[in-house]
Amino acid sequence: MNRIQFYIVLFGLILISIFPLYAQDIQEKQQVTSEEVQKLREDLQKLIDQQVVKLEELEKLISEIQAKLEGQEQEDELQALLAAMEQLGAQEKEVEEGVGKRFFSGLRQMQILNPNISLLGEFYGGVSSSRNDLIINPDGNLYANSGFFIRGLEVNIDSPLDPFTRGKSTISFSGDEIEVELGFLEWINLPLRSNIRAGKIRPEFGSFNRYHAHALPQFDRPRALANLFGLESMAGLGFASSFLLPPLFASVNSLEIGVIKGGSGFSFTDKGKYGLIYTADLKNFYDISPDTYFEWTISGAVGKNDPDERFNSYIGDLGLTYKWAPSDRLRYRTVEWRTEFILSKRESATGDINTFGFYSSLQNRLSRRYVVSSRVGYSELPFNSDYHEWDFTTTLDYWQSEFVFLRLQYSYFDRNIFVDNEKMPNNSSFLIHVVWAMGPHKHETY
């Protein structure tokens, strides 16, 4: 064996001796690595489990905090409401205690004490098919309807005077005449749910007695009312008290009783020494639906009809009203129907005179600006049941704004009435009516 072969054999023996040790070391390292991986996996799983538990605890804590916050908010709202109630109670107590106190100091705000003042004007122009003087320039209870006229200018003044009273006055200018059309003081919210008016008033009677002429659905009052009370309805100096009754057989019941001095010379004398007229009006209001109501009224009036005040006149009235006013379109669509049946009994030296009259009026709002209406009526004169007349009327109103409106009206009258042995002619009339208001004009509660 030479030297080279010896070294080869020696190197081989060395490799054979080292290889098992190397393989064992590799195996041991692999086992260590697997155990570490397994341990890491177990530690990771434990960490995940711990995080899950912590998340659940955190969610639970968040829920508890939210519940406490909501409870705190509700408690804060409740405390705020209680504080507001206490403050309101303190204010009411202060007001109640202050009612009987005297004012020792402090400046009065004069602007606050100023009343509401407004001016209302009415102009109309008309033309009639008849040229008879009784129609063109009537001396009774008809409006002149051939030419141009200022029906009237009204100055309206109203104001609350204190927590218990309010005042209202209407002064009218017509031609060369100045008249206190209305002027009264009203005590409100009295015991028995009552109000009292004192002064020059229009008592409740039927549907239209308290209406000012410009607030009527047509230019003039129905002939059934005009022939009994004149053009401006029943009014006079006196008292009227209204009561809100318990809703016995309707949604709302109200009663007004009054006594006035101020006959017009038609049904009640305007020349008597006392000339008192006693009135009563019972209203019964029914809510049929949120958009519809129905009302019926029974009214009565009694007073003397002659200057010597020996004979009485009795007037009874049954009124029916139906109104449809959709709550979501109140300013654009309404339908209102009114009808009254009127009986009159007039005592006289030759016996009693019984007369009858009625009218029916239908008003339809087509849009915010346009309103149409129609009316038919029949009336016998209170002093002669043989005299009667029919009236037929139709109108178209244009509301330029709540302060200005224009009206076109056509009317036809069929009469069987004699004046100084002259028969009043039948006639048609056409008129244009313009109404304007300046200032905060507020209507009465009709």
Looking up residue 163, the CATH number of its domain turns out to be 2.40.160.10
Range in 83-97, 296-310, 342-356 the model is least confident about: 83-97
Kindly state whether residues 296 and 361 are assigned to the same domain.
Answer: yes
| Alpha carbons 80 and 76: distance in angstroms, whole number | 6
> For position 9, what pLDDT does the model report?
58
> For position 90, what pLDDT does the model report?
61
Per-residue confidence at 19, pLDDT binned at 50, 70, 90?
Answer: low
| Alpha carbons 356 and 344: distance in angstroms, whole number | 6
The answer to whether residue 102 sits within a structural domain is no
> For position 112, what pLDDT does the model report?
67
Kindly state whether residues 65 and 166 are assigned to the same domain.
Answer: no
Kindly state whether residues 252 and 363 are assigned to the same domain.
Answer: yes
Range in 45-49, 105-109, 157-161, 282-286 the model is least confident about: 105-109
Kindly state whether residues 142 and 225 are assigned to the same domain.
Answer: yes
The answer to whether residue 107 sits within a structural domain is no
CA-angle at 43, arms to 37 and 45, nearest 5°: 105
The answer to whether residue 100 sits within a structural domain is no
The answer to whether residue 99 sits within a structural domain is no
When comparing pLDDT for 259 and 7, which is higher? 259
Measured over the CA atoms of residue 432, residue 438, residue 444 and residue 446, the dihedral's sign is: positive
Kindly state whether residues 231 and 315 are assigned to the same domain.
Answer: yes
When comparing pLDDT for 36 and 434, which is higher? 434
Range in 9-13, 62-66, 354-358 the model is least confident about: 9-13
**Domain stops at, among 64, 85, 106:** 85
Using a 10 angstrom Cβ sphere, with 0-12 exposed, 13-18 middle and 19 or more buried, the burial of residue 443 is exposed
The answer to whether residue 103 sits within a structural domain is no
Average pLDDT over residues 412-423: 90
Q: What DSSP character marks residue 319? A: E
The answer to whether residue 392 sits within a structural domain is yes
User: How many structural domains does the chain have?
Assistant: 2
Kindly state whether residues 285 and 381 are assigned to the same domain.
Answer: yes
The answer to whether residue 337 sits within a structural domain is yes
Domain hosting residue 72, numbered range = 1-85
> For position 105, what pLDDT does the model report?
46
Kindly state whether residues 73 and 124 are assigned to the same domain.
Answer: no
Kindly state whether residues 68 and 161 are assigned to the same domain.
Answer: no
Amino acid letter, 61: L
> For position 62, what pLDDT does the model report?
79
The answer to whether residue 53 sits within a structural domain is yes
Rg (CA), the chain: 45
> For position 106, what pLDDT does the model report?
46
pTM over 0.75, yes/no: no
When comparing pLDDT for 91 and 248, which is higher? 248
Q: Check pLDDT > 70 for residue 2.
A: no
Per-residue confidence at 20, pLDDT binned at 50, 70, 90?
Answer: low
**Domain stops at, among 25, 59, 85:** 85
Per-residue confidence at 218, pLDDT binned at 50, 70, 90?
Answer: very high
When comparing pLDDT for 34 and 100, which is higher? 34
Kindly state whether residues 366 and 428 are assigned to the same domain.
Answer: yes
> For position 46, what pLDDT does the model report?
81
Kindly state whether residues 162 and 81 are assigned to the same domain.
Answer: no
Range in 7-21, 34-48, 145-159, 423-437 the model is least confident about: 7-21
Kindly state whether residues 212 and 342 are assigned to the same domain.
Answer: yes
Kindly state whether residues 49 and 141 are assigned to the same domain.
Answer: no
